[in-house]
C-alpha cells in the first residue's frame, strides 16, 4: 500500500503518511462544511422558487382575465394602445457562496408610457397592464431562482462526489498504509531491542558476530 502511495520508507514514510492523512481529513471536513452550506442555500432558494412559481401563475391568470375583458370592451385597437412603448429591461444581481456564483435577485423594469401617448381604452386594460407587469416581474424572479437552484444542485453534487472519494477511498488507503508501515516499524524496533539486549548480555558473541558481518 505504501508503494502505491509512493511513501518514503521507514520513519520518514510514517511522517509522510501522517501529514497526508491529516490533510485529507481536513479537506473532508471543509468539503462537508461546504456541502451543508450549499444544501441549506439550495433548499432556501427551492422554497423561494416554488413560491414565485405559484405567485407568477396566479398573476398571469389574473392578467389574462383582465385582458379578455378589456378586448371585449374596447377591441384589438385598444389593446395595441395599451402596449408598453419599449421592451422591458432585466437586471440580475449575483451572489457568491463557498466559491459558487449564482443569481440572487432579478429586477424587471417596464417603460412607462409617454405623457402625450393616447389614453388606454378602458379600465380593464389598465388593470391587465398592471397585472402583466407584476406577472413579468414574478416570472423574472422565478427564472433567477430556477437558475440559482440548478447551479447549487450541480455544485452540491460535485462536492458530494469529491467528499465521498476522500472519505471512501483516499482516507482508508492512507490509514491502511500508515497501519501497515507502523506495524513494520514496531517489528523492526522490537527486533533491534532484542538484538541490543542480547549484545549487552553477551559482549563476546556480539563482537564475533560483528566481525563475521564484516567478512565478505
Compute the radius of gyration of the chain from its Cα atoms: 36
- Burial of residue 125 (number of CB atoms within 10 Å: 0-12, 13-18, 19+): buried
Tens digit of pLDDT for each residue in 10-52? 888 889 999 999 999 999 999 999 999 999 999 999 999 999 9
Three-state secondary-structure class, residue 122: coil
* Higher per-residue confidence, 195 vs 206: 195
- Burial of residue 214 (number of CB atoms within 10 Å: 0-12, 13-18, 19+): exposed
The owner of cell 491529516 is 22
Tens digit of pLDDT for each residue in 54-76? 999 999 999 999 999 988 888 77
In percent, how much of the chain has pLDDT > 90? 54
Full DSSP string of 117-166: SPPPS-HHHHHHHHHHHHHHHHHHHHHHHHHHHHHHHHHHHHHHHHHHHI
Report residue 89: phi and psi, to 5°.
Answer: -115, 140
- How far is 134 from 128, CA to CA, in rounded Å? 10
List, in order, residues 6 or more apart from 109 with CB less than 8 Å away: 88, 89, 90, 91
Q: pTM value?
A: 0.72
The owner of cell 423574472 is 140
Q: What is the CATH number of domain 25-66+85-114+131-177?
A: 1.10.287.3240
In percent, how much of the chain has pLDDT > 70? 81
* Higher per-residue confidence, 2 vs 188: 188
pLDDT at 125: 85
pLDDT at 198: 66
C-alpha 94, offset from chain centre: 15
Q: Parse the chain into domains and list their residue ranges.
A: 25-66+85-114+131-177
pLDDT at 194: 59
Report residue 3: phi and psi, to 5°.
Answer: -65, -40
The answer to whether 144 and 103 have CB atoms below 8 angstroms apart is: yes
User: What's the start-to-end Cα distance of the chain, in Å?
Assistant: 35
pLDDT for residue 200 is more than 90: no
Tens digit of pLDDT for each residue in 115-148? 766 677 788 888 988 899 999 999 999 999 999 9
Amino acid at each position: 500500500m505504501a508503494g502505491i502511495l509512493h511513501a518514503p520508507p521507514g520513519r520518514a514514510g510514517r511522517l509522510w503518511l501522517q501529514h497526508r492523512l491529516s490533510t485529507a481529513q481536513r479537506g473532508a471536513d471543509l468539503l462537508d462544511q461546504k456541502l451543508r452550506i450549499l444544501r441549506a442555500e439550495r433548499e432556501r432558494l427551492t422554497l423561494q422558487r416554488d413560491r414565485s412559481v405559484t405567485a407568477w401563475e396566479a398573476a398571469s391568470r389574473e392578467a389574462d382575465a383582465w385582458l379578455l375583458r378589456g378586448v371585449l370592451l374596447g377591441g384589438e385597437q385598444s389593446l395595441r394602445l395599451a402596449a408598453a412603448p419599449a421592451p422591458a429591461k432585466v437586471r440580475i444581481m449575483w451572489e457568491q457562496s463557498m466559491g459558487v456564483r449564482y443569481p440572487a435577485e432579478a429586477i424587471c423594469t417596464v417603460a412607462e408610457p409617454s405623457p402625450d401617448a393616447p389614453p388606454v381604452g378602458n379600465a380593464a386594460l389598465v388593470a391587465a397592464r398592471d397585472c402583466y407587469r407584476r406577472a413579468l416581474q414574478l416570472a423574472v424572479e422565478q427564472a433567477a431562482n430556477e437558475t440559482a437552484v440548478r447551479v447549487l444542485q450541480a455544485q452540491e453534487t460535485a462536492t458530494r462526489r469529491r467528499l465521498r472519494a476522500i472519505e471512501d477511498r483516499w482516507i482508508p488507503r492512507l490509514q491502511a498504509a500508515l497501519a501497515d508501515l507502523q506495524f513494520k516499524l514496531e517489528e523492526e524496533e522490537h527486533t533491534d531491542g532484542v538484538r541490543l539486549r542480547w549484545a549487552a548480555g553477551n559482549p563476546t558473541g556480539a563482537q564475533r558476530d560483528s566481525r563475521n558481518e564484516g567478512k565478505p
